[in-house]
Structure 1
Amino acid sequence: MLTVAAERSLSALATPTAAAAIPSPPQPANIIDIGEIVVLATRPTAAIGFQIRVNEDGTVDVSMPREEVGQGLSTVAAMLVAEEMDVPLGKVRISLADARPELLFNQLTGASSGVRSIYHPARATAAAARARLLEVAARRWGVSRDELTVADGVIRARDGRTTTYGDVTKEAARADLPELKVKPKTKNRSRYIGKPAKRVDGRKIVTGANTYTLDVDVPGAKPCIVRRPPTISGTVRSVRNVGAVKRMPGVVAVTTIPSGVAVVADTFDYALNAVNALDVDWGPGSIDNLSDENVRAKLRAMAPKLDVPEVGVKSIVGEFDFAFATHGAVEMNAAVADVRDGRAEVWAALQAPVVAQEEIARTLGIPMNKVVVHVMPSGGSFGRRLFHEPAVEAALVSKAVGRPVRLLWHRTDDIRHGRVHPAKHHRIQMTYAAGNVVTYQHHVTSVSTDIGHGFGDVLTAKVADIPIAGNASIAQVAFHTMIHCPYNFGVVTETLSEWTLPMHTGSWRSVWSVTTRGVEEVMVDEVAAALGKDPVEFRRRFLKTARQRAVLDKVAEVGQWGKPMPKGCAQGVAVHDESKSCTACLGEADARAPKKPRGTKAVTPVAPALRGN
């Protein structure tokens, strides 16, 4: 509701653009953002990505080449297919495609590209299926396809004859038809797209009926837990009591893999007891001599110096530190693997299944076509499932013990050894004069983010399409195609410098935006206060586009910006623009108990690039 209202309010805006602000030139992300790069990379195989099967009972099965991590992409895909095929939404069933190497870059889920990357391919495939079914019905009745209509999967001729998709599906599958002209629906004919719809998997999720990785029933698969080193990337020198542990109740096998010592047992409880009983001689880790304080000092020292403001120009400087942060998805890392007789079959939640398939094959020393990877839904991700350590570990253990295994990381494993959002330092300077912001400098120094999960390959493949590529690193290209300042702040400079450490990092919730744009909004408040301006009015004056101002106006209206607040309570506001969508947020906080502050309200209108649900 807020999204629609925010969009509709554009035409009603009466306030002129921020003419008095010093215009800032476009940044790379304004020209091409990382989501658009992903879409470009998927185009060569877009026509073969979605696979649709129409069954005789009228249901439609769709194999989606993306991961469902709780973001609702399965629902959007079902809506797109139902829209173009004119079938009830409840008759569309979405499954996640196994790893398909022929898709190249077209089976990556991330970079906020989900809806954008499937929107047109899903619709085109569904429209082609509809056209084929109609053509078969038309030939059966001796009429033109244009004379037929469809509603809820029922095909009707002008003379009143009817049939169903289920009645003609077998004939359509084997018919020798010419290439049919296909044209997806226009927006004004939409029944589902852009309209509210319940999640297609919602009932299964809330009732516990959804099938996640460890719900897969593979005959003979035994629970497995890995004892991991006390330090990051530590190694196993020896296991002093392996014989005693093997004799513990319920223990099936104990084996060493590169990441630790794996115990396979009859239950996870038996496995955990045995893991805790292991006496391991550990080798050193890769960053044993570092601490959070060391890392923070290094990142601060790396930050470039700020420019000296000109005479008569005032400045505000801000420095912000962010610690390493774990992903903390609800579902723990898990995988099921069956590796026997030179073949491997693996089940796991994977955002980059083809990359996982390649690594499993390489690690096991078998051909890639001997590895089958089944993509499972994920109970949350935030970028964590871009990496596939559990799948590789499960495959190694299964091969070593000669039977299928169900491997689980417990929460401590994930916090200590999982992928983390890198520590960062932000150094910012905003200069202002005569009521205007003259310059905005923002230097980000960070422990490097590992993007060796497929997206780095995408950026490398499409580097010629990226305006700032040059000598920039892949990480810098990713940074500049995600980050841009939504305000006219004169000369805008944003940089990224990385420090490579031998530790496990990864993408985490917008990668750089979550901190970079967050601290920018803090600095906007600081400058507004220095100039004696209301935070909403200050933002409104300097925002670049009407869409940005529309979401700001809507959040101020719905959130009742400026209303009287009790002492110790306050409101805050922010605006964000990324991936061709923009949003605003008005939050309220209660700090009357200083040691237990809490957020009490948040209002967030959104103006999306594409509306699915």
Structure 2
Amino acid sequence: MARSTKESTGIERRRFLTFLVAAPVLTVAADLSTAKTAAAVVPSPPAVAEIADIGDLGILVGLPTAHMIVIEVTDTVRLRLPRTEVGQGITTAVAMLVAEELDLPIGAVAVTLEDARPELLFNQLTGSSNSVRSLYDPIRHVAAAARGRLLAAASTLWDLPTRKLHTRDGAVVAPDGRRATYGTLTAAAADRTLRTGAAQPKPESEHTLVGTPTTRVDARAIVTGQVRYALDLDVPGALPTMVRRPPTINGSVRSVDNRAAVLAMPGVVAVSVIPTGVGVTAETFGQALDGKNALEVTWNRGTVDDLSDSDISAKLRNAAPRFPAPNPLVQTVDADFEFAFVSHAPLETNSAIADVRADRAEIWSGLKAPIIARQTIAAALGLPVDRVTVHVTQAGGSFGRRLFFDGALEAAQISRAIGRPVKLMWSRIDDMRHGRARPASHHKIRATMALGQVLSFEHRVASVETDFRHGIGEILSAAVTHLPIIGNLAFSQALFLTTIHTPYHFGATKHQLSEVPLKMHTASFRSVYSANTRGAEEIMVDLIAEKMGKDPVAFRHEFLKNDRQRAVLDAVASAGNWGRPMPDGHAQGIGIHDEYKSCTACLVEIDARDRAEPRVTKAVIAVDVGKPVNPRGLEAQMLGGLTDAISTTLRAGLHIDKGLPLEGSYSQFHYARQKNTPTDVKIVVMPAHGKPGGAGELGLPAAVGAIANAYRRATGTTPTLFPIHFPVDFEPFPR
């Protein structure tokens, strides 16, 4: 495709917009509306996701507002980040980018989270492993623009050409050693009449901070309790609030039968009915909890009251089209896999503060889609959008959960009902049972082989519908996700195709998604469709290799599509000593995954002598994300993906019983503890090249496949139901 003249001029023709606010503050933002989006170049035949993945689409639609990323320079440097920090380390990565361009120590850069800003459109949504990918160029350019203006201000001050000046440690330095700190130059730099030349980011070859392993800027604050999450904020008059929820998913209140008695309890201030339950507001959270538990409520039925695990499993099996009878002229490998519902289970449960008045509302919460939250809350309250302010707070975990804003909406509804500000906290039981979950799914996979080649590979996925009505759907369509069933399912197909691809030359390759529209609380879980889909495929790859009489690593090396994928495979096979002798009941397993312009391989060793308590004892992970901004943060992401994979592959899931999950705490939802995770973990970050790829969701699918393959090799049994060990080994809490 021919490029326009405007586009072909490259970086040097990118424009810069300078927003001059009250001096001595210099505020600048880079306009990247002419930036290029390059399609991936891959061997034929490429899948949709290899041509343009969901991250590419997010970057593309974000270009019109990419210039609205803002840095403020005074005596300090502050970046207003239009993304959410949920523990993934994005504030550290972007602080590194700013510090690099402005020649500052990273501690001199403060990163604050932006309030919801509707004018940002698609540039204030945190998801799809897209934050670093989409922010890398805009932040570098805005910081370079700020540096350019500071140099120009010093040039005017000293009557020296800017080419003779340089920046170091937060100051402009002249050849004779004179220094002017940024704070002393901001007033002049903000002068509208200041003449500046073109400002370009540093060549990546000159980076001294970006690409260097760096400890999180908020690490000490987190471990010492200084980070302020939503419920740590001191909003005047905000009272502790909890909600009594129905005994089944999506049940609703028919009547509150003892309102007066609960209102008479110590500390209870108000009882309010909202669409999702009954709120109890009190002077303390303990009193709110007591009041909630004392409520006597008559409930309407929910939307899945008659469904349990076996019913849902049957619906999924029936929704995945069966394969025809195999062709007798070729070898065939067929396999079915099934994955249970999984709770996101972030450490911080749903929480929010709301102060709703007759003519305005103010909300505080950890939100990954704050613009959509603001719009939805305004509509629910009957207020104009511009009368609702939404503050984004740091959140204690997400894994996809905080794409939705259920807590913020409930807090707003309760505050309006009682006419007072409230601090809403979900209990852990509520978060497990009424929070959103990764949908259950069923997978049918068939591969055909002949003459040492894989001729075809087909994967049919049936999943409970994933709810995407949190804003990311608007990347592709501003309206269709809100249409009944078909709209949301249409978007599901688009997201499935822009995330799922098989990294092997397996002949005619086909993926098909069928979603069962059960009205349950679902949401994207880390790695969305890939964790289960690609995890199952990596088990299938081992089965194909066995059928063809080949070693799993040698087989992958032969059939992978490109050298980058083979490099991460070789790295883990070498570092993990693939093929070494193992005692009975122990084995190695391997998996690979390619997504979001990144790829990774994972090798694990497992001790499965006790099949009820298998334990991963060692892991080696190699990861190639192109340009790693913070290798230490990347290592943390891979370790998190490994831990998620250990949990959801071996023991962690939700049992659905007559319309409600049975699990209600960490003691019942068996997420991996320290004793379940390996002490021997090695993470190999591949050499930097190109632009940054995605990392947040990358580490899960390969590890799922590796763990399942290790279990299979250790036990001689192919796991098909996940988690592998999944009894109800607890007494469920009362409904």
Report if TM-score (shorter chain) is over 0.5: yes
> What aligned pairs does 1:45-84 form with structure 2 within 5 A after superposition?
45-48=65-68, 50-56=69-75, 59-84=76-101
Query: Are the structure 2 counterparts of residues 223 and 472 from structure 1 closer, same or farther at C-alpha, using a change threshold of 3 Å?
Result: closer
The match for 2:157 is 140
2:45 to 25, 28, 51: 25
What do the CA deviations read for 1:576-599 (whole angstroms, capped 9, x no partner)? 000010000001111122322111
Query: Is the 8 Å Cα contact of residues 37 and 462 (structure 1) preserved in structure 2?
Result: no
The match for 1:34 is 54
Confirm whether residue 86 of structure 1 aligns to residue 103 of structure 2: yes
> What aligned pairs does 1:200-599 form with structure 2 within 5 A after superposition?
200-460=217-477, 473-599=490-616
Instruction: Please identify, of 161-170 and 542-551, the stretch whose mean Cα deviation from structure 2 is larger.
Output: 161-170
> Any unmatched runs of 5+ in structure 1?
1-22, 464-469
* Alpha-carbon distance in 2 for matches of 1:472, 1:501: 12
* Alpha-carbon distance in 2 for matches of 1:179, 1:100: 29
In the TM superposition, what is the alpha-carbon distance from 1:264 to its structure 2 partner? 0.4
4+ residue runs of structure 1 moved beyond 6 angstroms? none
1:189 to 206, 223, 246: 206
User: Partner of 1:329: helix, strand, or coil?
Assistant: coil
In the TM superposition, what is the alpha-carbon distance from 1:559 to its structure 2 partner? 1.1
User: Partner of 1:605: helix, strand, or coil?
Assistant: strand
* Alpha-carbon distance in 1 for matches of 2:478, 2:406: 25
Confirm whether residue 151 of structure 1 aligns to residue 168 of structure 2: yes
* Alpha-carbon distance in 2 for matches of 1:596, 1:310: 40
In the TM superposition, what is the alpha-carbon distance from 1:203 to its structure 2 partner? 1.0
Output the amino acid matched with 1:568.
G
* Alpha-carbon distance in 1 for matches of 2:385, 2:194: 35
What do the CA deviations read for 1:228-273 (whole angstroms, capped 9, x no partner)? 0001111101111000000001111111111100000111111111
* Alpha-carbon distance in 2 for matches of 1:576, 1:252: 53
In the TM superposition, what is the alpha-carbon distance from 1:286 to its structure 2 partner? 1.2
* Alpha-carbon distance in 2 for matches of 1:558, 1:364: 57
* Alpha-carbon distance in 2 for matches of 1:89, 1:414: 36
User: Partner of 2:476: helix, strand, or coil?
Assistant: helix
Query: Is the 8 Å Cα contact of residues 467 and 488 (structure 2) preserved in structure 1?
Result: no
Output the amino acid matched with 2:48.
P
In the TM superposition, what is the alpha-carbon distance from 1:304 to its structure 2 partner? 1.6
Output the amino acid matched with 1:185.
K
User: Partner of 1:503: helix, strand, or coil?
Assistant: coil
The match for 1:604 is 621
* Alpha-carbon distance in 1 for matches of 2:97, 2:153: 23
* Alpha-carbon distance in 1 for matches of 2:332, 2:586: 29
In the TM superposition, what is the alpha-carbon distance from 1:37 to its structure 2 partner? 0.5
In the TM superposition, what is the alpha-carbon distance from 1:161 to its structure 2 partner? 2.1
Query: Is the 8 Å Cα contact of residues 41 and 462 (structure 1) preserved in structure 2?
Result: no
* Alpha-carbon distance in 2 for matches of 1:582, 1:473: 28
What do the CA deviations read for 1:372-427 (whole angstroms, capped 9, x no partner)? 11101111101100000100110111111121111011111112111111111100
The match for 1:44 is 64
* Alpha-carbon distance in 1 for matches of 2:228, 2:627: 29
Query: Is the 8 Å Cα contact of residues 152 and 196 (structure 2) preserved in structure 1?
Result: no
Q: What is the total number of aligned residue pairs between the two structures?
A: 582
What do the CA deviations read for 1:34-65 (whole angstroms, capped 9, x no partner)? 011001111000001x2211122xx2111100
Output the amino acid matched with 1:52.
I
User: Partner of 1:604: helix, strand, or coil?
Assistant: strand
* Alpha-carbon distance in 2 for matches of 1:183, 1:107: 25
Output the amino acid matched with 1:34.
I
In the TM superposition, what is the alpha-carbon distance from 1:566 to its structure 2 partner? 1.5
The match for 2:722 is none
* Alpha-carbon distance in 2 for matches of 1:438, 1:73: 42
* Alpha-carbon distance in 2 for matches of 1:118, 1:411: 34
Output the amino acid matched with 1:54.
V
* Alpha-carbon distance in 2 for matches of 1:379, 1:278: 30
* Alpha-carbon distance in 1 for matches of 2:491, 2:439: 16
The match for 1:467 is none
User: Partner of 2:477: helix, strand, or coil?
Assistant: helix
Output the amino acid matched with 1:494.
H
* Alpha-carbon distance in 1 for matches of 2:169, 2:479: 41
In the TM superposition, what is the alpha-carbon distance from 1:158 to its structure 2 partner? 2.0
Query: Is the 8 Å Cα contact of residues 461 and 514 (structure 2) preserved in structure 1?
Result: yes
* Alpha-carbon distance in 2 for matches of 1:65, 1:472: 28
The match for 1:171 is 188
How well do the aligned residues superpose, as a CA RMSD in angstroms? 1.6
* Alpha-carbon distance in 1 for matches of 2:358, 2:325: 68
The match for 1:20 is none
Output the amino acid matched with 1:227.
R
Query: Is the 8 Å Cα contact of residues 24 and 489 (structure 1) preserved in structure 2?
Result: no
* Alpha-carbon distance in 2 for matches of 1:233, 1:180: 59
User: Partner of 2:190: helix, strand, or coil?
Assistant: helix
User: Partner of 2:291: helix, strand, or coil?
Assistant: helix
User: Partner of 1:407: helix, strand, or coil?
Assistant: strand
User: Partner of 2:513: helix, strand, or coil?
Assistant: strand
Query: Are the structure 2 counterparts of residues 555 and 86 from structure 1 closer, same or farther at C-alpha, using a change threshold of 3 Å?
Result: same
What do the CA deviations read for 1:138-159 (whole angstroms, capped 9, x no partner)? 1111122222101111211223
Confirm whether residue 118 of structure 1 aligns to residue 135 of structure 2: yes
In the TM superposition, what is the alpha-carbon distance from 1:179 to its structure 2 partner? 6.0
* Alpha-carbon distance in 2 for matches of 1:430, 1:481: 22
Output the amino acid matched with 1:45.
T
Output the amino acid matched with 2:259.
V
Output the amino acid matched with 1:357.
R
* Alpha-carbon distance in 1 for matches of 2:246, 2:611: 39
* Alpha-carbon distance in 1 for matches of 2:351, 2:154: 47
Query: Is the 8 Å Cα contact of residues 459 and 478 (structure 1) preserved in structure 2?
Result: no
> Any unmatched runs of 5+ in structure 2?
1-42, 481-486, 631-735
The match for 2:657 is none
User: Partner of 1:460: helix, strand, or coil?
Assistant: coil
Instruction: Please identify, of 547-556 and 394-403, the stretch whose mean Cα deviation from structure 2 is larger.
Output: 394-403
Query: Are the structure 2 counterparts of residues 609 and 461 from structure 1 closer, same or farther at C-alpha, using a change threshold of 3 Å?
Result: farther
Instruction: Please identify, of 394-403 and 482-491, the stretch whose mean Cα deviation from structure 2 is larger.
Output: 394-403
User: Partner of 1:473: helix, strand, or coil?
Assistant: helix
* Alpha-carbon distance in 1 for matches of 2:196, 2:246: 59
User: Partner of 1:128: helix, strand, or coil?
Assistant: helix
